[in-house]
């Protein structure tokens, strides 16, 4: 299918700023869905609040635009009640890991079959450029006029420790890699996390003198390297890209089917 | 027909009512004094092919049931005051997105962590105005276990009929007390099933375009119609809008769908009300003491009656005004500082004749507590 067949053209133009990375991620996600051959009626996209969360309105799936930070909790209700559906949850960095941090780690712990996409632009964009728990120390934001002192989460390490069974990272520069990682994440049976570094030229870029959108995207080429690459070995301060975790562990909804079997046996006994 | 007689806690009567109504998905978080509801459903739901999940917090529980309602399930969560506070954000979402769901609040003493293992009725106004912004909501209550069962069934019926969250406001005494429950046979109580759209596949379905009768037929997530659901103001497709006309129309729809049907929604019982000169207005566990007192005084020839409210929101203003027109005095009996009192005073023609008999120390208000206030009103001293 053509990519435009997956979007609700009625609701365009979208609200993202010129140069925003979220459109690239939307495009990558739709390519991944298309290449996997998934039916539109089988996909539920659940999102929270923020620039990233607006993805849900633009895609022609079942879409649930919820509350700030709560997308995974809503998605858990959808998934457990209809396990055959494919759940995709795009979130921003503040949405996923500040206000939504508790839901994030518990969805990972349960290993419920949901694909969580963390669109990490290290800033709250919709509210105008405040620092997030993924900003890290030393950046300028409207709520950090003297630079941030807050350390940041490492999404990959957090997801791994919390129990996610698929964890990957990419960037908006590496679009083809992103499509591949999203395909693997969506196909994975269990809680899958894909962190995608994405540029916010309007707030992050301008404040922190990272240049225009094109420069910001190109920067990802220089500050990241593939896991196992020579570049990463030679320069360990680079941010690794690729798949960090891919393991099998009982999936929550499948495990619940066994609870149903046990409950019925006990009632019958 | 031999009916199933049970000797149960109020919390169990609520569980029985919910299962009778067709509950198929529950999400919750442990909290006294409502925990038995979660414990019983953890056991009962999977045996019926339903789903139970203990979420990471109260907020997530409320969100999860909304998600499960969208796939076509009858859903419920249960909590008490502190948890009810946390759920308010998502209750507002369910009001705005018009998602049928039932929230049980087995009330304890508040504010804050308050008096966890003791009775209170201090969440009446929170049930109405706990979430921000103009909205409307339905709240039901009960004073005995047969009614806990019946009102729980009603809650599910109303949630489906009006596409709204419905709050069941019980209290610790009702939740934990044991008494007889006759479980009705299937078919004995009417059940309202979800109204689903008749719009065929591949035809544009408008999830938020009300029919002529004001109802909004739904389509299950995962089914043949793909649409958007949001907590933002939205158009007939469920897509966010800030168009002033649409914003105003949607808010008025949310208010009117309940306000225009107050007579259809509200429930009350009358005890010894005929010719009553003094009327006690009460609900929940407090109503038991009010009814006890009225029965006792009637036996002595005093003309005292009780209006027992089984629905608290929307408030039955016209009914209260009418019933209290001729009486000498009205006594609102409740375990808070006068939350229903304010409603009754606003409803009657003569607010000066409305008094409060309350108790807020974690102990059940007794007939003697009410009698004392009544004697003072009657000019007979304590």
* CATH class of the domain whose range is B4-183: alpha beta
pLDDT, tens digit only, all 269 positions of chain A: 999 999 999 999 999 999 999 999 999 999 999 999 999 999 999 999 999 999 999 999 999 999 999 999 999 999 999 999 999 999 999 999 999 999 999 999 999 999 999 999 999 999 999 999 999 999 999 999 999 999 999 999 999 999 999 999 999 999 999 999 999 999 999 999 999 999 999 999 999 999 999 999 999 999 999 999 999 999 999 999 999 999 999 999 999 999 999 999 998 88
- Separation in Å, CA of B74 to nearest CA in chain A: 11
Question: What pLDDT is recorded for position B1?
Answer: 47
Q: Give the residue-averaged pLDDT of B285-301.
A: 97
**Contact map slice: A 92-111 vs B, CB within 8 A:** 102-103, 106
R_g of chain A computed on alpha carbons: 19
Enumerate the residues of chain B whose CB falls inside 8 A of the CB of residue A67.
63, 89-90, 93, 231
- Separation in Å, CA of A102 to nearest CA in chain B: 7
Q: What are the tens digits of pLDDT across the range B179-190?
A: 999 999 999 999
Please state, in angstroms and as integers, the Cα–Cα distance from residue B341 to each residue in A77, B125, B170, B283, following that order: 39, 11, 18, 12
Contact A115/A89 with Cβ under 8 angstroms?
A: yes
pLDDT at B3 over 80: no
Contact B306/B331 with Cβ under 8 angstroms?
A: no
Does the model's ipTM exceed the 0.90 cut? yes
Residues contacting residue B253 through CB under 8 Å, at least 6 positions apart: B210, B214
Residues contacting residue B37 through CB under 8 Å, at least 6 positions apart: B11, B14, B15, B28, B78, B104, B106
3-state secondary structure of B86: helix
Is the Cα dihedral B296, B324, B336, B123 positive or negative?
A: positive
Residue range(s) occupied by CATH 3.40.50.970 in chain B: 4-183
**Residue B2 confidence class, pLDDT cut points 50, 70, 90:** low
Number of domains in chain A: 1
Q: How many residues does chain A have?
A: 269
Residue A25: give the domain boundaries. Answer: 3-268
Tell me the CATH number at A110: 3.40.50.970
Residue range(s) occupied by CATH 3.40.50.920 in chain B: 269-377
Q: Give the residue-averaged pLDDT of B151-180.
A: 98
- Separation in Å, CA of A105 to nearest CA in chain B: 9
Please state, in angstroms and as integers, the Cα–Cα distance from residue B60 to each residue in A251, B39, B66, B83, B235, following that order: 19, 18, 10, 11, 27
Question: What pLDDT is recorded for position B130?
Answer: 98
| Residue A63 sits at the chain B interface (C-beta within 8 Å) | yes
**Does the domain at residues B269-377 carry the CATH identifier 1.20.58.1290?**
no
3-state secondary structure of B12: helix
| Residue A44 sits at the chain B interface (C-beta within 8 Å) | yes
Closest CB from B56, B65, B240 relative to A102? B56
Q: Which residue of B has its CA nearest to A69?
A: B60
| Residue A61 sits at the chain B interface (C-beta within 8 Å) | yes
Q: Give the residue-averaged pLDDT of B176-203.
A: 96
Q: Which of B56, B267, B79 is nearest to A77 (CA)?
A: B56
- Separation in Å, CA of B53 to nearest CA in chain A: 9
The pTM (predicted TM-score) of the whole model is 0.98
Q: Are residues A41 and B232, on separate chains, in Cβ contact within 8 Å?
A: no
Q: Which of B335, B339, B312, B334 is nearest to B114 (CA)?
A: B335
Closest CB from A65, A74, A256 relative to B66? A74
pLDDT at B214 over 90: no
The per-residue b/e assignment along A222-244, b for 16 or more CB within 10 angstroms, e otherwise, is eebbeeeeeebeeeeebeebbbb
Question: What pLDDT is recorded for position B233?
Answer: 98
Please, what is the average pLDDT of chain B?
A: 97
Write out the two tokens for A7. 């979007």
| Residue B73 sits at the chain A interface (C-beta within 8 Å) | yes
Contact A108/A164 with Cβ under 8 angstroms?
A: yes
pLDDT at B140 over 50: yes
Taking the CB of residue B350, how many other CB atoms lie within 10 A of it? 12
């Amino acid at each position: 299918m053509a990519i435009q067949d997956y979007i609700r053209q009625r609701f365009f133009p979208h609200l993202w700023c010129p140069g925003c990375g979220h459109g690239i991620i939307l495009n990558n996600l739709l390519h991944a869905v298309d290449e996997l051959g998934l039916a539109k009626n089988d996909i539920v996209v659940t999102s929270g609040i923020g620039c990233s969360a607006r993805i849900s309105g633009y895609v022609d799936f079942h879409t649930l635009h919820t509350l700030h930070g709560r997308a995974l909790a809503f998605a858990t209700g959808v998934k457990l009640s209809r396990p055959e559906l494919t759940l995709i949850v795009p979130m921003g960095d503040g949405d996923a890991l500040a206000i939504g941090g508790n839901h994030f780690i518990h969805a990972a712990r349960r290993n419920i079959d949901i694909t969580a996409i963390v669109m990490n632009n290290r800033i709250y964009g919709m509210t105008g450029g405040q620092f997030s728990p993924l900003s890290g120390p030393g950046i300028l934001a409207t709520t950090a006029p003297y630079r941030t002192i807050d350390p940041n989460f490492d999404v990959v390490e957090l997801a791994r420790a919390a129990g996610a069974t698929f964890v990957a990272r990419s960037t908006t520069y590496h679009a083809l890699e992103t499509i591949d990682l999203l395909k693997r994440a969506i196909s994975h049976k269990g809680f899958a996390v894909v962190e995608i570094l994405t540029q916010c030229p309007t707030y992050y870029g301008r404040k922190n003198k990272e240049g225009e959108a094109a420069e910001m995207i190109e920067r990802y080429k220089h500050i990241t390297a593939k896991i196992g690459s020579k570049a990463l070995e030679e320069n360990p301060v680079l941010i690794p890209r690729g798949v960090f975790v891919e393991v099998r562990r009982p999936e929550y909804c499948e495990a619940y089917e066994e609870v149903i079997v046990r409950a019925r046996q006990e009632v019958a006994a | 027909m031999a009916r199933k007689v049970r000797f149960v806690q109020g919390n169990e009567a609520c569980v029985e009512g919910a299962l009778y109504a067709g509950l198929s998905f529950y999400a919750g978080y442990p909290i006294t004094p409502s925990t038995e509801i979660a414990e019983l459903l953890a056991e009962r739901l999977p045996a019926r092919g339903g789903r139970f999940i203990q979420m990471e917090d109260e907020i997530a529980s409320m969100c999860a049931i909304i998600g499960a309602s969208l796939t076509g399930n009858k859903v419920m969560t249960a909590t008490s005051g502190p948890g009810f506070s946390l759920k308010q954000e998502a209750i507002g979402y369910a009001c705005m997105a018009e998602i049928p769901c039932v929230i049980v609040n087995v009330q304890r003493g508040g504010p804050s962590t308050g008096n966890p293992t003791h009775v209170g009725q201090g969440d009446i106004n929170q049930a109405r105005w706990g979430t921000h912004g103009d909205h409307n909501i339905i709240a039901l209550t009960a004073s005995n276990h047969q009614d806990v069962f019946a009102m729980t069934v009603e809650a599910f019926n109303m949630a489906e009929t009006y596409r709204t969250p419905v709050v069941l406001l019980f209290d610790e005494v009702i939740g934990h007390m044991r008494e007889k429950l006759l479980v009705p046979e299937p078919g004995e109580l009417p059940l309202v099933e979800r109204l689903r759209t008749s719009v065929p596949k591949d035809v544009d379905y408008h999830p938020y375009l009300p029919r002529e009768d004001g109802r909004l037929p739904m389509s299950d997530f995962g089914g043949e119609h793909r649409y958007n659901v949001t907590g933002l103001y939205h158009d007939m497709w469920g897509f966010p809008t800030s168009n002033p006309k649409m914003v105003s129309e949607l808010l008025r729809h949310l208010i009117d769908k309940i306000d225009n049907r107050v007579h259809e929604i509200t429930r009350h019982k009358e005890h010894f009300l005929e010719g009553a000169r003094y009327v006690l207005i009460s609900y929940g566990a407090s109503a038991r003491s009010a009814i006890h007192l009225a029965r006792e005084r009637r036996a002595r020839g005093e003309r005292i009656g009780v209006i027992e409210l089984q629905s608290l929101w929307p408030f039955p203003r016209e009914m209260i005004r009418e019933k209290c027109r001729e009486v000498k005095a009205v006594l609102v009996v409740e375990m808070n500082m006068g939350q229903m009192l304010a409603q009754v005073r606003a409803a009657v023609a003569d607010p000066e004749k409305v008094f409060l008999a309350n108790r807020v120390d974690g102990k059940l208000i007794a007939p003697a507590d009410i009698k004392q206030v009544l004697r003072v009103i009657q000019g007979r001293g304590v």
